[in-house]
Amino acid sequence: MKKRKFLPFGLLLMASAAALSAATVSVKVDQPGARINPAMWGVFFEDINFGADGGLYAELVKNRGFEFPDSLMGWITISPSLAKGEVSVRDDAPFDPANPHYVRLQSEGTAPFGLSNEGFRGMGVRKGGAYDFSARVRDVSGGSRLSVRLYGGDGTLLDTVALQGFSGSWAKYTAVLHPTDTDPKARLAVLVDGKGTLDVDFISLFPENTWKKRPGGLRADMVQALADMHPGFIRFPGGCIVEGSVLARRYQWKNTLGPIEDRRLLINRWNYEFVHRPTPDYFQSFGLGFFEYFQMCEDIGAQPLPILNCGMACQFNSGELCPMDQLDTYIQDALDLIEFANGPQDSPWGARRVAMGHPAPFNMKLLGIGNEQWGVQYFERYEKFAKVLKEKHPEIALVSAAGPDPADPRFRLAWTRLRELHADIIDEHCYAAPEWFFSNTHRYDHYDRNGPKVFMGEYAAQSVAAVSTKNRNNLECALAEAAYMTGLERNADVVLMASYAPLFANTEAWQWTPDLIWVNSLQVVRTPSYYVQQLFARNRGDRVLPVAMGEPAADEEKRMYASATIDDTSGDIIVKVVNATAKASATTLELEGAAGIKDATWTILGSAGLNDENTVESPDRVAPEVRSVSAAGRKLSLDLPADSFSVIRVPVAR
């Protein structure tokens, strides 16, 4: 977050002072209301847009185990100048039956011969960094060396090491590469040097600088972006990926544990979901599996919210159903997951957690049953899950689904039926125009306070239309989301949690836009929407305070939205105001009932234009700026810039 004394907004304001409108925001400091769930503002993670493989999971080699259906996808044969040889893909006597394919590199020895990997649309490597190479190798004949080379996108050799001494049995060999330059499009070559034949498999390259320096871990800069948000929870692993286009391709958490070599590859449903955005090289290695998700949640202080398949494939695809009398396997998966996360060390699944290095429980309190399901088939499956889970684990709150869109009959039916089933928390999804969010800030004011709680589990303002490839993460969308979030916050007694979706997108391999955080192989770009989420999460407060807005002079000035909370520990009053008008507003913030207030911290998110966004080239165009504002009595005067979101933290005298 930038700290500046003189702000561009100030200059903008001076220029448009004549156009200033006036507003009053009054907060009743002495009338705290509903408690706010400490985990209210969280994140939705799905392996979409190369979010895991090619994203959070820091592996740089694509198709490292040659298990893609096109075994050599991501690899090209390198036979420079005089090199002669042959590459064949085999599956006889592999090093691991879970990873049956490997390559045989047969070189005639005239020059180094072998393969080169392109990474996930280029390997991002940094000068001064250390990169752990590993591969399984077996000598077939000749006792030749393996030359491992890292090349820059322009062909410059960035580093090389030679491995030798292979035997006739599979073994793991390692080396460390130190690139001489930073390159977003590096490639890794493995070449047989000398006449001979080698079998090679599971070729891997990881930065040593992963999150918490864990070998084979997660991309540090991406996890840092999450940690910087202070999310209250992480929902994982999706999204439609939970459901699969058919049940055989559903996400099965048990297949994501243990040694990475044993985690069987699965095609990612976003590989082929959109005809207009095919991504044929998109697969799930599960290097980021359920243990790693739980670990990441713990690292950044977020509650884990796993979502499990409920016996239904994606209803936008096959809608395949597991027959009701065969649902027990799915329910058992849920019971086993609770044991894996929370169970004692000597329980079968608790022991699996311990074996992976985590004796203490992960303290899971939430579990989602199904993703974006709807209809009677869902209700009957949810009911069966809930009956067993509530009996055995009443301590776990269950998240149930209300379909894809709040403006449709399936949604209303879901609420009616799930209310009858005494559901704990209902997951609402909404991808709509910015105007929908602006005009729905009072949506929850009239919800039944005694029924299930709301999880606004997927939402994002769409600058063009849902699923349009033209959607932008611009300031207008971020302001619409901020306005809507003031409504969620004011209704924190019924809205328990909320998360923007989707979370990550690779600038070169995305299927869905907009997304909260964009990355390429070396950079992370935080969108205006990211900053909105971050400002809410870092300025949550513990209890809701009543807010009143003065009657606006003109219709246009009605586009101001506010909420307020109190932080019980510091005593700070936190006020959030969106000025979604084209005019700056001379706003008086009154803190009624406060014994006295001190100078406040005012964080502003805005920009010169509503279409402004952050890009790889200009990552900070729309970023929060912080200034301090003097108190006068119980009032603060704030010139709220046009089209801006403000968070004002006011310390009160106690």
Interface residues toward ligand AHR, by CB under 6 A:
46, 48, 238-240, 371-372, 404, 429, 458, 501-502, 512
> In the complex with ligand AHR, which residue's Cβ is closer, 239 or 487?
239
Which residues share a beta bridge with 78?
Answer: 114
Q: Identify residue 489 by its one-letter amino acid code.
A: E
> In the complex with ligand AHR, which residue's Cβ is closer, 64 or 472?
472
| DSSP 8-class letter at 149 | E
Three-state DSSP at 19 gives: helix
Among candidate residues 629, 601, 477, the one with its CA nearest the CA of residue 538: 601
Cα diameter, the chain:
87
Report in angstroms how near the CB of residue 47 gets to ligand AHR at its nearest: 10
CA angle (396, 399, 402) in 5-degree steps: 165
Report in angstroms how near the CB of residue 50 gets to ligand AHR at its nearest: 14
Work out whether strand 2-3 and strand 625-629 pair parallel, antiparallel, or are unpaired: parallel
- Classify residue 323 by burial, with Cβ atoms within 10 Å: 0-12, 13-18, 19+: exposed
> In the complex with ligand AHR, which residue's Cβ is closer, 471 or 646?
471
Helices 328-342 and 290-300 pack at an angle, to 10 degrees, of: 40
> In the complex with ligand AHR, which residue's Cβ is closer, 187 or 429?
429
Three-state DSSP at 212 gives: helix
Report in angstroms how near the CB of residue 312 gets to ligand AHR at its nearest: 13
Among candidate residues 533, 610, 558, the one with its CA nearest the CA of residue 438: 558
Report in angstroms how near the CB of residue 371 gets to ligand AHR at its nearest: 5
Residue 128 in contact with residue 516, Cβ under 8 Å?
no
Residue 647 in contact with residue 576, Cβ under 8 Å?
yes
Report in angstroms how near the CB of residue 501 gets to ligand AHR at its nearest: 4
Residue 519 in contact with residue 525, Cβ under 8 Å?
yes
> In the complex with ligand AHR, which residue's Cβ is closer, 16 or 317?
317
Q: How far apart are CA 293 and CA 282, in angstroms?
A: 20
Report in angstroms how near the CB of residue 337 gets to ligand AHR at its nearest: 20
Q: Which residue is nearest to ligand AHR (CB)?
A: 239
Which two structure tokens, joined as six digits, stand for 466? 């849902």
Choose the catalytic residue: 46, 118, 261, 372. 372
Report in angstroms how near the CB of residue 40 gets to ligand AHR at its nearest: 20
> In the complex with ligand AHR, which residue's Cβ is closer, 403 or 624?
403
Residue 151 in contact with residue 187, Cβ under 8 Å?
yes
- CB atoms < 10 A from the CB of 569, how many? 7
Report in angstroms how near the CB of residue 429 gets to ligand AHR at its nearest: 6
CA angle (287, 290, 294) in 5-degree steps: 115
> In the complex with ligand AHR, which residue's Cβ is closer, 50 or 362?
50
Spell out the alpha helix ranges (H) of 491-558.
Answer: 528-538
372 part of the active site: yes
> Which secondary structure element, helix H or strand E, spans residue 137, and what is its range?
strand 131-141
CA angle (325, 403, 304) in 5-degree steps: 80
> In the complex with ligand AHR, which residue's Cβ is closer, 66 or 378?
378
Report in angstroms how near the CB of residue 511 gets to ligand AHR at its nearest: 9
Residue 541 in contact with residue 535, Cβ under 8 Å?
no
Which two structure tokens, joined as six digits, stand for 371? 């993703």
Left (φ > 0), alpha (ψ -120 to 50) or beta: where does 592 sit?
Answer: beta
> In the complex with ligand AHR, which residue's Cβ is closer, 117 or 315?
315
- Residues acting as catalytic residues: 372
